[in-house]
Amino acid sequence: MTVRTRRPSRVSTLRRRLQLATSEAILAAAEETLVERGFEATGISEISARAGVAVGTVYNHFQDREALLAALVDARGEELMQGIESALERSASAPVDAQITALATALLEHRKAHFRLAEIVFDDRTCPGAANRKRSASVLSRIHARVTQVMRRGISEGQLRREDPGLYASLFLGMIKGLFLLREAPAPGLPAGLARKLTRLFMEGASS
């Protein structure tokens, strides 16, 4: 007897797409509201109004404000990882310095787009969410691992001195973070060639 595999109907596929689009709209509205008002002043009603949906719709997707923030942190973290993976894939056959530049570009663009959200998540005074900080820390650990792989390649190809590749990764990521801590990256965009400049400075200090 042949058992037929039931394919998703067109209606269920469209419903799923609508659910995803609604979730994404709510997450975008949540980030915008958090950036404008801060965590304590942001409520579900403000988020639903900005997203253009009913309050009940928000609760259909997220249990409460904390769950919504957790989903937002996860979504932005995955978005960053996808950007990094795409950058590494596109530059896989390029020299190491070009691959580091691609990494810097992906990191800077994402950091610029979501800088205020990161500030809120990591600020104990405004966002009492240790679980969300752990989520962000997990993403940072994954980023560090991927950057370490690139640094290891640079060492093996003789473009970087034989030092700890994990240390190189930490120093490189620290340069990216430092730009924003010092508020040197102006809005609305990043200075032309900034990623290349960072790469050059890094390579000059670490080259063999």
Question: Where does the chain hold its CATH 1.10.357.10 domain(s)?
Answer: 65-206
The whole-number pLDDT of residue 101 equals 94
Q: Measuring CA to CA, which residue among 124, 119, 126 is closest to residue 39?
A: 126
Radius of gyration of the chain from Cα atoms? 21
Contacts of 68 (CB under 8 A, 6+ apart): 26, 27, 30, 44, 47, 58, 62
For residue 162, what are its two tokens? 């034989």
The pLDDT, as a whole number, for residue 186 is 45
pLDDT at residue number 126: 54
- For residues 123, 128, 131, 137, the Cα torsion angle rounded to the nearest 10 degrees is 10
DSSP secondary structure string for all residues of 2-45 = PPPPPPPPHHHHHHHHHHHHHHHHHHHHHHHHHHHH-STT--HH
Q: Scanning the structure block, which residue is given the tokens 């996808």?
A: 82
> pTM of this prediction?
0.78
Question: Which residue has tokens 């010092």?
Answer: 182
- 101/85 Cα distance (integer angstroms): 13
CATH topology of domain 65-206: Tetracycline Repressor; domain 2 (1.10.357)
Q: Looking at this protein, which amino acid is placed at residue 97? A: D
pLDDT at position 119 = 72
Q: Which tens digit of pLDDT belongs to each residue from 85-139? A: 999 999 999 999 999 999 999 998 888 888 778 777 666 555 555 566 677 778 8
**CATH class, range 9-62:** mainly alpha
* Secondary structure in 3-state letters for 97-137: HHHHHHHHHHHHHHHHHCHHHHHHHCCCCCCCCHHHHHHHH
List per-block mean pLDDT (blocks of 10 residues) for the chain, which spans 208 residues: 58 81 93 88 92 94 89 89 94 94 91 79 58 75 94 94 95 85 53 84 80
pLDDT of residue 8: 59
